[in-house]
């Protein structure tokens, strides 16, 4: 038994890396065939194009219409939480960016806000179309439904920003409640809530990937077909953020030497481009995973059907009914005499 286990382990040690290389190569070739890099570049362009009108629309709505003071600073905090590359670029880039937003706050009419929101939908439309292209789905939804989905994604992204800069306040409130309800316990300590707050960005990233992979493809999907790839996509996204932060802290001078004053914009666009690649590769793996699960379930159903047919064939005919025999087939000695007619061959 031990030798068999060791032999099986040795086979897996050899075949495992080979299977992984074939899997990566196959996905890479398919991603290139479906123009994944070009779709990722389009998403990065529209994301950068959308950043200004979406931020201006949020500032106009929350500052002018709702009367929330210092919303610009809160929005900066939210962007730094979700896109740490911005935080590492220094306050000069963000201050110049949001200074232009404050200068444009005079656009306060409802028509202007609707125009900004409409312009902000471009990136979400490109994400929806790219995910369906990666899936190989050419059938589109009705026009109004697609527009409603893009608007829902826009609202969801805005809520994500609002939640991201409200996390500290939310967890601070819960900590104060815990000190009243359960004082002198680990729950009331600041360390626990600080750890929970630190885990919130990866959880929000996982939620975003889950919604994209589950909702955007124009096909019916189950949770088990989406959950693993959404988890992998969120993990890859968090790793990419750490890699970009490490690069900015240690090798940002290279980009500054090449691009000069616009190096921060270039690094931001590259970060969004890499994030779009991660998202589309995850969508492609999701399609393969869903196909694999569907194939396994179909094989299992076929096997169960074969077993049921085998049981039916092995039983004698029902009382009062002749057992049919295929024409030209040898008579089974267990069949009753006189049975005839077409039937399945045993």
25-73 pLDDT, tens digit each = 888 899 999 999 999 999 998 888 787 777 777 777 766 655 566 666 6
| Residue pair 226/258 in contact by the 8 Å Cβ criterion | no
158 against 8, higher pLDDT? 158
Sequence-distant (6+) residues with CB within 8 A of 112 are 60
Quick one: which of 242, 241, 230, 237 has its CA closest to 206?
230
Question: Which DSSP state fits 276?
Answer: H
pLDDT at 212: 92
pLDDT at 346: 42
Exposure b/e, 72-84, CB count within 10 A at least 16 = b = bebbbbbbbbbbb
Q: Where are the alpha helices (DSSP H) in the chain?
A: 2-33, 36-59, 71-82, 84-88, 91-103, 110-120, 122-135, 143-181, 190-215, 223-259, 263-314
Region 317-332 average pLDDT: 54
The structure tokens 């805005």 sit at 158
Quick one: which of 162, 164, 207, 202 has its CA closest to 55?
162
Quick one: which of 282, 273, 280 has its CA closest to 48?
273
Q: Is the pLDDT of residue 280 over 70?
A: yes
Quick one: which of 81, 130, 136 has its CA closest to 279?
130
The structure tokens 């196909």 sit at 291
How far apart (Å, rounded) are the C-alpha atoms in residues 230 and 153?
17
Q: Which burial class, exposed, middle or buried, applies to 178 when counting CB atoms under 10 A from its CB (0-12, 13-18, 19+)? A: middle
Region 141-163 average pLDDT: 83
3-class DSSP state for residue 108? coil
Q: Is the pLDDT of residue 345 over 50?
A: no
How far apart (Å, rounded) are the C-alpha atoms in residues 186 and 200?
19
48 against 82, higher pLDDT? 48
126 against 324, higher pLDDT? 126
Q: How confident is the model at residue 344 (pLDDT cuts 50, 70, 90)?
A: very low
- Predicted TM-score of the model (pTM): 0.75
pLDDT in tens, 154-178: 888 877 777 766 666 666 666 666 6
| Residue pair 83/271 in contact by the 8 Å Cβ criterion | yes
Q: Which burial class, exposed, middle or buried, applies to 341 when counting CB atoms under 10 A from its CB (0-12, 13-18, 19+)? A: exposed
Q: Is the pLDDT of residue 339 over 50?
A: no
Token couple for 164? 């991201």
How far apart (Å, rounded) are the C-alpha atoms in residues 309 and 312?
5
Q: Is the pLDDT of residue 132 over 90?
A: yes
Q: Is the pLDDT of residue 287 over 50?
A: yes
pLDDT at 51: 76
């Amino acid at each position: 038994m031990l030798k068999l286990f060791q032999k099986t382990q040795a086979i897996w040690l050899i075949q495992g890396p080979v299977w992984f290389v074939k899997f990566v190569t196959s996905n890479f070739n398919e991603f290139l065939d479906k123009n994944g890099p070009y779709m990722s570049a389009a998403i990065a362009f529209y994301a950068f194009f959308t950043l200004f009108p979406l931020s201006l629309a949020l500032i106009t709505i929350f500052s002018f219409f709702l009367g929330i003071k210092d919303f610009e600073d809160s929005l900066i905090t939210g962007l730094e939480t979700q896109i740490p590359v911005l935080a590492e670029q220094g306050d000069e880039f963000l201050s110049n960016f949001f200074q232009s937003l404050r200068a444009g706050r005079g656009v306060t009419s409802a028509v202007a806000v609707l125009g900004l929101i409409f312009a902000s939908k471009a990136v979400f439309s490109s994400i929806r179309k790219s995910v369906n292209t990666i899936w190989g789905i050419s059938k589109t939804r009705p026009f109004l439904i697609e527009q409603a989905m893009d608007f829902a994604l826009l609202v969801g992204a805005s809520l994500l920003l609002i939640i991201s800069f409200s996390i500290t306040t939310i967890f601070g409130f819960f900590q104060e409640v815990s000190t009243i309800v359960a004082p002198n316990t680990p729950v009331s300590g600041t360390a626990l809530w600080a750890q929970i707050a630190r885990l919130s960005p990866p959880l929000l990233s996982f939620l975003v990937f889950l919604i994209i992979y589950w909702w955007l493809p124009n096909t019916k999907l189950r949770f088990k077909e989406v959950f693993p790839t959404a988890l992998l996509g969120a993990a890859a996204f968090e790793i990419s953020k750490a890699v970009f932060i490490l690069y900015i802290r240690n090798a940002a001078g290279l980009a500054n030497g090449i691009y000069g004053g616009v190096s921060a914009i270039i690094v931001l666009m590259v970060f969004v481009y890499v994030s779009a690649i991660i998202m589309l590769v995850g969508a492609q793996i999701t399609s393969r995973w869903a196909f694999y699960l569907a194939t396994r379930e179909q094989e299992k159903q076929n096997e169960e059907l074969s077993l049921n047919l085998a049981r039916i064939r092995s039983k004698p005919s029902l009382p009062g009914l002749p057992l049919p025999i295929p024409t030209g087939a040898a008579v089974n000695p267990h069949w009753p005499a006189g049975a005839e007619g077409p039937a399945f061959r045993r």
